[in-house]
Amino acid sequence: MSLPVHLVESLDGAAPGTLVEVSGDEAHHAVAVRRLREGERVVLTDGRGTCATGSVASTGKRVFAVTVEDVSHDERPEPAITVVQALPKGERGELAVEVLTEVGVDRIVPWAASRSVAVWKGERATKSHAKWQATAREAAKQSRRSWLPTVAPLATTADLAALVTEADLALVLHEDATLPLGALEVPEAGRIVLVVGPEGGISPDELAVLADAGAHVVRLGAEVLRTSTAGVVAVAAVLARTNRWA
């Protein structure tokens, strides 16, 4: 059985025999909800590649301490995958973030596309962004990731053009594209950006901006996928051609 994973602010100085304290909401959920007990073995990660395995030495109301047995560090995976996710309606945004995190995406960029049904403004924008961050955090623990994905601030189409320009490979999913995703060479390192449009599709103007910035407009297959699932399918198709999934 896999050991439970908990996120901590820092593992600086963690070494076999040292004590690491976990507090706040993370500890409250572990102790009060999951009923963490002394002697139980857990994995702690700082979300930046370092993990520590150990046994729970003590628990409190909103705190627990772990005696470290082993510390390891994973290098950041290459190539780095950024998915630009146009805002879906309802809870499909959190669904997209969850599965993208599980499959190994490094950065998720919410996009206010012109045809997005959902709108992030004011307090709603703050709450929605926080939900995406919390979803990514929990999905990273569930999938046992040592590197926590980043959820970027809401982006405009102009912001995306800059992302595409800086990428080593940029792909835009579009149902009318004639170029199959599998026809392109995938770099073994660097940055890959993948753009997923909204339910209403990417507008011609947006498509032109991204193509002019250097993005390849590609299709996955004959089927048209929902915006909340298209990203994870495309990322899997890309990762299957890299050493990350070798």
The model's pLDDT over 193-231, given as tens digits with 9 standing for 90+, comes to 999 999 889 999 999 999 999 999 999 988 888 999 999
| Domains of the chain and CATH, by start | 5-73 (2.40.240.20), 80-245 (3.40.1280.10)
**pLDDT mean across residues, the chain:** 95
Q: Is 80 exceeded by the pLDDT of residue 243?
A: yes
Q: Rounded distance, CA 129 to CA 36, Å?
A: 29
- pTM for the model stands at 0.93
Rounded mean pLDDT, 77-97: 94
Bridge partner residues of 64 (DSSP)? 22, 59
pLDDT of residue 117: 87
* Range with lowest mean pLDDT among 14-23, 57-66, 94-103, 219-228: 219-228
pLDDT of residue 224: 83
As given in the structure block, the two tokens for residue 61 are 């109301």
Output b/e per residue, 157-168; b: 16+ Cβ within 10 A: bebbbebbeebe
Rounded mean pLDDT, 38-61: 96
pLDDT of residue 1: 67
